[in-house]
Each structure stands twice: as C-alpha cells, then as structure tokens.
A = this chain, B = another copy of it.
Amino acid sequence: MISAHLKKLKRHIELSREEEQAIRDSVAETRSVPADKILIRNGVELSSSMLLLDGWLARSKDMPAGERQVTQLHVAGDFADLHSFTLKRLDHDVATLSECVVAVVPHSRLKELTEQFPRLARLYWFSTNVDAAICRELALSLGQRSALSRMAHLFCELHARLDVVGRADDGGFNFPLTQRELAECLGLTVVHANRTIQELRRRRVVELENRRLTIIDRKGLEGIAEFDPSYLYIERLPY
C-alpha cells in the first residue's frame, strides 16, 4: 500500500535498494481511520508524520466564526504533514474526508533517514515545496479566478495528481467530497458551489454523481480552468 508513495517519489529520482528499504522501514505502524475525523489538530505538538496510503484528507483552517477554508487536499501517496517534521506543530487541522489508511512515520526515523540519505532529505524537502506550490496556485485561484474557473481548475489538478498514483483514468476519478466540502476548498458557499457544478454540467465538461467525477470534455475543462500543470512539478528526475 505504500507503493503509491514510492510511485510518486520515483517520478523524480531513481531510488536505490537501500533508500527504498529505508523508506519502508520508516513506517512505525499503519492505522485505519473512519471518515470525518480530525486526524491532526491545529497547534498540538507532534512527534510523527502521517503518510496517506488510501483515502482522502484535507488540511483546513477555521475562522473564529466558523467559516472554513480547505488549503489542501491529499490523496493516496501524499504525506499529509511532512512539514510537521520541522514545524513540530501545525497551523491547520488535518481531517479525513473518507475512510483512510495512514502510515505513521516517527520524526525520529525521519531524522535518521534524512541524515543517512541526504538525497532523500532533498527529495522530501522537494515534496513539501511542491505542497507550497500547490498552495500558491490555490491563492491565485482564490484571488483571481471566477468560481467556475476555480472549480474546473481543482478538478484538473486532482485528475493530474491522481493519475500519478494510478487512481484516475481518462473518464475521471472517485471523488468522495460533499458539496459543502468542495465549497470549502473553493472559498464559496454551498449554494454557489452547487450552481457552479450545474454550470459545468450544463456545458457538458464534467458530471458529478455517486461520489464520482466524470470528465466528459477534458480539453473544455482545461480551457475553463486555464490549467497549466507545471506548478505540480510532475516530471522525471529534477536532479
């Protein structure tokens, strides 16, 4: 089940036998978590990071009055809080959006791993930097794109990211979020998120039903989104 994570890493560098084994050995335990649970709470001191093996997670930040912004979605193969290795506590919550399987990686092992394999240290550093790039693209979406373009952009991004770990096909992908959660990703109200989905349906670019997103017109969707995947850094061997 850690194969999705390794698949992602191997897009960037060839892993030696020892490196791959060290990564496998860094997992202390594997846990199953039901949907709608807060896995990591804002501000709490942490001594391990969570590697998502299956399911969907969200990083979210709440306002005093209760409004919520999801700042990142995570799918199989993603480290949900690798940044807690250096930050020690998070500035956001991490919650399950579906039933999830997570691997627990103690910070102590990450320390050994990164000191023993500086190349892996840079690879994992790279990985948190890609998270940051995704967040910058979100800021661009929230600041400049219309609701329609924003939603289309999110769907394009998710398709590209899921494709890397073999969880998407040309027709689309499983999408377990409710419209409320989707709205929280996009900085919209539920009502407007609903109307935006309907507009995408009306334009025959996507369909969304039964927790599955069907992409009907990929080019059309990417056009609405003005999608350029280079910010995802999905390419082979950067160094």
Contacts and interface: CB of A to CB of B under 8 A. Distances in A.
Interface of A: 43, 59, 61, 63-64, 67-69, 71-72, 83, 85-88, 91-92, 114-115, 118, 121-123, 125-126, 128-133, 135-140, 142-145, 186-187, 226, 230-231, 233, 238-239
A76 to B, nearest CB: 21
A91 B133 contact: yes
Contacts of A140: 61, 63, 69, 71
Contacts of A136: 59, 61, 71-72, 91-92, 135
Contacts of A121: 114, 118, 121, 125
Contacts of A226: 63-64
Contact of A128 (B63, B129, B145): B129
Contacts of A132: 83, 128-129, 131-132, 135
Contacts of A86: 122-123, 125-126, 129, 238
Nearest to A64: B226
Contacts of A123: 86
Q: Which 6 pairs across A and B sit closest by C-beta, in order of nearness? A: A143-B187, A142-B142, A86-B126, A132-B132, A91-B231, A69-B143
8 contacts: A71-B136, A83-B132, A86-B122, A114-B118, A121-B125, A125-B128, A128-B129, A142-B143
A238 B143 contact: no
B144 A187 contact: yes
A136 B135 CA distance: 7
Nearest to A42: B230
Nearest to A110: B122
Contact of A91 (B43, B122, B230, B238): B230
A126 B87 contact: yes
A88 B235 CA distance: 12
Contacts of A126: 86-87
Contacts of A129: 83, 86-87, 128, 132
Contact of A142 (B63, B85, B125, B139): B139
A118 B126 CA distance: 16
A61 to B, nearest CB: 5
